Structure 1
Amino acid sequence: MSGTVHGVGGEDRTDYTREESKAIRRRSLRLLGSLIAPLKARVAVVAIVVVAQTALRVLGPALLGLGLNEALPAVRDGGDWTLAWVVGVTYVVTAVLGAALLMWYDVLVARVTQDILLELRTRMFRHTQRLSMEFHETYTSGRIISRQTSDLETIRELLGGGLTDLINGVLYGVFTLVALTIWDWQSSVIILLAGIPLALLMRWFYKRSQEAYRFSRVASARLIVKFVETMTGIRAGKAFRAEPRNEVEFGQLASDYRDANMRSIRIFGTFEPGLMAISAFAIGTVVLWGGVRITWGEFTVGALLTVVLYTRNFFLPLQGVAMFLNSFQAAAAALEKVSGVLEVEPTVPDPTHPTPLPDARGHVVLDEVTFGYGAGRTILPEFTLDIPAGQTVALVGTTGAGKSTLAKLVSRFYDPTEGRVMLDGVDLRELDARDLRRAIVMVTQEAYLFSGTVADNIALGRPDASLDEIVAAAEAVGADGFIRSLPDGYHTDVNKRGGRVSAGQRQLISFARAFLANPAVLILDEATASLDIPSERAIQEALQTLLADRTAIIIAHRLSTVAIADRVLVMEHGRIIEDGAPETLIAGTGKFAQLHAAWRESLV
């Protein structure tokens, strides 16, 4: 699979080719290997403990057979209890030691499992944060949540329980078969013959369940996506009375998930009776053949008891192996999804040898930049622009003209397909990431607030800022008044993405956040759209002071915001059609003059 965003976008597929399936398995195994590698020593201890406890468990039937064949006759015929005591004490000791080792094994496995999950969970979070905006704009938040929750939980169930069933089952089966062969090779031949239909059944179950669980993981992810999107957009849903439609769509997805699970259950429901039938046939054959040989005087009751117990014990853990295959298919499908995300490489990578720029001045240049999203149409064709340090530039134009795209390129959310975007003569692709984020800050219309206090949100870009600095930034943008009116002032928890403050107040907090960061270049992308007229005027007054010594790019449909700009660029179809001071363009007869006239008429 390709490590691109588009490859990950196809992770909800289930119709993989054989080559794709092999590549996905290799990818998943690489991930699992990288997680286990640092824990090799502990894994080795786990292996030693499980071998020891399995060997002790296998001794049980042999000791019972020895007691029945040798110890009881010795007591009956001569009153000699020595062998009986030896057998009894040995049986108790092996049982106690086996139980103690099993307990130790469970603890060791739990520790290894939790360490693996800790590394995988943090690796997922770290990696998804590092991925470029292209990934996050195509890979929905619901799917990311599914990777971090249900998929990792499924992997935990495999490592914590299913893997234990597999190891115990396989080792116990092998040790039991060896012991049975030593005790009575003829009975072991019966087991080996029963292994033929058993292997065919296992193979059938593995193939069918693999496909079924892949469908199940996809259905689960789609269900989570729908739930997250519905709850996230609950206001829009209620505003447009979308509840009935959402219920129908969610009900269909829930039904698909149920059907996918029922498909898996039906497969397991066929496998388990088949396993029981093969086991019953093998045990019956062993009992029948052993009974025949007892009548011939070639076998003893104690030997028959031992081989029957070994035969039963051979098949008994296969139920656990089946449960492992059951959970393994679910975990393998989950691991495919997780490894697919971790294989994605950022489309905006950090430079190998970054150029430091600790004190940016804010000179921005776009040099013959060409850019388009994916394989679609080109948004900016051979675009060139020079913004001197300290200049405030306003971008205006119709929707789709390329204004926000230009802002994303200057923020380096995307890299141009051709050409260069430079800050103080340094290509953004060569700039140290920390210097870039410190030098260029974008404020969007969304004004996202994180859980925490108002002060925490203002200090997002400068977590080491003092409360006095935070208050000064809020005062500069006119946010101090409403913040102090909140229940706990600057220490008020904003609660649920800023649910305790209005849209305009969230925007003011985001302004304070940007001003506290003190960037060399400040980009405002429709950042005043949520403000009422009085608040917007207050912001404009603050902007005139705060933008005096920094470069600013302002994207706004409200032409009142444009008045504070030194320069206005009118864009259309990714090109600049007008460039000049606001008063010069207003006095002319071009596009901006028309827009300004229409805006003034709308105010009357």
Structure 2
Amino acid sequence: MSTVQGTAGEDRSDYTRDENRAIRRRSLRLLVSLLAPLKRQVTLVAIVVVAQTAVRVLGPALLGLGLNTALPAVTQRADWGPAWLVGGAYVVTAVGGAALLAWYDVLAARVTQNVLLDLRTRVFRHTQILSLEFHETYTSGRIISRQTSDLDTIRELLNGGLNQLVHGALYGVFTFIALVIVDWQSGLVLVVAAVPLALLMRWFYRASQRTYRVSRVISAKVIVKFVETMTGIRAGKAFRTEPRNDTEFSGLSMEYRDVNMRSIRLFGTFEPGLMAISAFSIGLVVLWGGMRITWGEFSIGFLLSAVLYVRNFFTPLQEVAMFLNSFQAAAAALEKVSGVLEEEPTVPDPARPVVLSGARGHVRFDEVTFAYGTGRTILPEFTLDIPAGQTVALVGTTGAGKSTLAKLVSRFYDPSEGAVTLDGVDLRELHPRDLRRAIVMVTQEAYLFSGTVADNIALGRPDATFDEIVAAAVAVGADPFIRSLPDGYHSDVNKRGGRVSAGQRQLISFARAFLADPAVLILDEATASLDIPSERMIQDALQTLLADRTAIIIAHRLSTVAIADRVLVMEHGRVIEDGTPDALIAGTGKFAQLHAAWRESLV
């Protein structure tokens, strides 16, 4: 099973040999799974490319035949028959080759687009189902890099690079076979030249493999830095981090430039080496062929064919080298994408889910122990019982475990030990549909998606009528400000709710929760974005929102805590005080001290 730590390790360039093999196998499995549904299309592409390559290879042989037989027939006997025959065959091969190439391009493009559609959909679908732990560890910039630059690199490989490889490899093989048929001695020259050629290709492949793996890592870092800077632009401007961001981004950009220059220098060494081997081979063929012509053992026509075949043999190798460039980049990208797709949810859906259609809201922590990854234990052997319909407020210092408790109830995480149950059913066994319907969390960051205000309120109940949406907004006090928007409930909230204030976004999230009508509602610092007048305005709305349902409120503002039936004071993952607000205020414990300090702050 893959882990989040393993995914983070995907951005390293210092792989061991075993890791390299495992990654290549993983990438190959992904590629095979993408091509498997397209067997017929891939087979047709293969047939067309073989036919097109075979037709292209006939050209030099026809030229040699024409020079040896057709031309003497015309000059010596005025017989144009062989000339018309050879010329016609040459035209047919040229036109047929062009037609087959055009057909291949269309077929290959169709396969490429189908593969990319499947891959892009898989990545999006898979990253959605991965657990919160993955998204809290794997930065959004890296996920965006997988969906954008990595998939674009794979597209470039499938569109052009694969064409270069297939044509180059097949054309080289067919050309060598034709050369041996025309003149086996010239074929021996290519066999000798294959030794330095193989060494050159092997060196280039290994060196470019290392370079392109580093290139993908740095490319992802550039994207991550850009996304994080733009996402946190407000904080950046508030703390004047522009100069530091410029320095860091410039450094990453220079690293990216340097690694790209390394790949260019590699190709700058490979191409001259290839040209030298090609020139040496052609020179030997011409020299040896010329000597045999003077001896009367060879003809000028076949020498022309042999020279063309040797030249044509080396020409597509440059295309193969270009393919290696594309391949290395795409292989590195495929490694990253396959790494994401290999991740498994740390909060998996149950194999045999228990249906709980009418949840009452009884929540219980039974000897729960929890830690994030391999970090310190946040909740040690935690036991808590919250009866259905009770409103519980969690109070405590930062890091006491309040938000962790909320995430466990929402099943964003699973306990390391013990169980969290809803109406006696372990959350790990509960059907995901019933879980999401029964438990809703409203967080401090009231995220609004692109669309209208009405769309955002109906997020938890897409089938809700417009009247139900309005009723939910009225219940939480959001209706007046929504109607004041340019298009009312049909106003587009634009980028991350840019058309509404932070407090108004929070009110919309309350309306969203009210409309969803869960059995258990969790408010995690949900009133933190509201000013004092807004908070007072929604106190009655909160009473409506929390009525007849189990509620867990995490708040530092004690005015919100006052509406709770029960207050739990947490410290170091344990409950140190438990009682009604009035009873705890009347005492001398931690909550009484917090309440006294809060009242003094109001004065």
Which residue number in structure 2 is paired with residue 4 of structure 1? 3
RMSD: 0.7
Deviates more, 1:415-424 or 1:487-496: 487-496
Per-residue deviation, 1:538 = 2.1
Distance in 2, Cα, partners of 1:10 & 1:482 = 48
Distance in 2, Cα, partners of 1:361 & 1:303 = 91
Per-residue deviation, 1:288 = 1.0
Distance in 2, Cα, partners of 1:3 & 1:274 = 43
Which residue number in structure 1 is paired with residue 434 of structure 2? 435
User: Helix, strand or coil: the match of 2:367?
Assistant: strand
Which residue number in structure 2 is paired with residue 307 of structure 1? 306
Distance in 1, Cα, partners of 2:255 & 2:460 = 44
Which residue number in structure 2 is paired with residue 346 of structure 1? 345
Per-residue deviation, 1:381 = 0.3
Summarize the alignment of residues 434-583 of structure 1 with structure 2, pairs less than 5 Å apart.
Answer: 434-583=433-582
Q: Which amino acid aligns with 1:421?
A: V
Summarize the alignment of residues 81-160 of structure 1 with structure 2, pairs less than 5 Å apart.
Answer: 81-160=80-159
Q: Which amino acid aligns with 2:203?
A: W
Distance in 2, Cα, partners of 1:318 & 1:574 = 65
Which residue number in structure 2 is paired with residue 52 of structure 1? 51
Q: Does 1:220 align with 2:219?
A: yes
Distance in 1, Cα, partners of 2:481 & 2:346 = 41
Q: Which amino acid aligns with 2:563?
A: I
Which residue number in structure 2 is paired with residue 209 of structure 1? 208
Distance in 2, Cα, partners of 1:260 & 1:435 = 51
Distance in 1, Cα, partners of 2:554 & 2:307 = 82
Structure 1: gaps (5+ residues): none
Distance in 2, Cα, partners of 1:472 & 1:288 = 93
Distance in 2, Cα, partners of 1:413 & 1:269 = 52
Using structure 2 for the length normalisation, give the TM-score: 0.99
Distance in 1, Cα, partners of 2:293 & 2:358 = 95
Distance in 1, Cα, partners of 2:89 & 2:27 = 45
Which residue number in structure 2 is paired with residue 246 of structure 1? 245
Distance in 2, Cα, partners of 1:136 & 1:569 = 30
Which residue number in structure 2 is paired with residue 376 of structure 1? 375
Q: Which amino acid aligns with 1:567?
A: R
Distance in 2, Cα, partners of 1:48 & 1:12 = 39
Summarize the alignment of residues 260-339 of structure 1 with structure 2, pairs less than 5 Å apart.
Answer: 260-339=259-338
User: Helix, strand or coil: the match of 1:10?
Assistant: helix
Per-residue deviation, residues 59-92 of structure 1 (Å, max 9, x unmatched): 1011111111001111111111111111111110
User: Helix, strand or coil: the match of 1:317?
Assistant: helix
Per-residue deviation, 1:546 = 2.4
Distance in 1, Cα, partners of 2:469 & 2:430 = 28
Q: Which amino acid aligns with 2:136?
A: E
Per-residue deviation, residues 279-330 of structure 1 (Å, max 9, x unmatched): 1111111111111111111111111111011111111110110010111000
Distance in 1, Cα, partners of 2:545 & 2:453 = 21
Per-residue deviation, residues 466-512 of structure 1 (Å, max 9, x unmatched): 11111111111111111111111111111110111111011111111
Judge conservation of contact 2:476–2:544 (CA < 8 Å) in 1. Answer: no
Which residue number in structure 2 is paired with residue 394 of structure 1? 393
Judge conservation of contact 2:57–2:175 (CA < 8 Å) in 1. Answer: yes
Q: Does 1:423 align with 2:422?
A: yes
Q: Does 1:24 align with 2:23?
A: yes
Which residue number in structure 2 is paired with residue 360 of structure 1? 359
Which residue number in structure 1 is paired with residue 67 of structure 2? 68
Q: Does 1:230 align with 2:229?
A: yes
Q: Does 1:598 align with 2:597?
A: yes
Distance in 1, Cα, partners of 2:176 & 2:353 = 62
Q: Which amino acid aligns with 1:415?
A: D
Per-residue deviation, 1:371 = 0.3
Q: Which amino acid aligns with 2:230?
A: M
Distance in 1, Cα, partners of 2:77 & 2:418 = 101
Distance in 1, Cα, partners of 2:204 & 2:591 = 69
Per-residue deviation, 1:571 = 0.4
User: Helix, strand or coil: the match of 2:394?
Assistant: strand
Distance in 1, Cα, partners of 2:202 & 2:559 = 71
User: Helix, strand or coil: the match of 1:460?
Assistant: coil
Per-residue deviation, 1:94 = 1.1
Per-residue deviation, residues 538-582 of structure 1 (Å, max 9, x unmatched): 222011122111000000000000011010000011000111111
Percent identity reads 82
Runs of 4+ in 1 over 2 A off after TM superposition: none
Distance in 2, Cα, partners of 1:77 & 1:238 = 88
Per-residue deviation, residues 86-117 of structure 1 (Å, max 9, x unmatched): 11111101111110000000110000001000
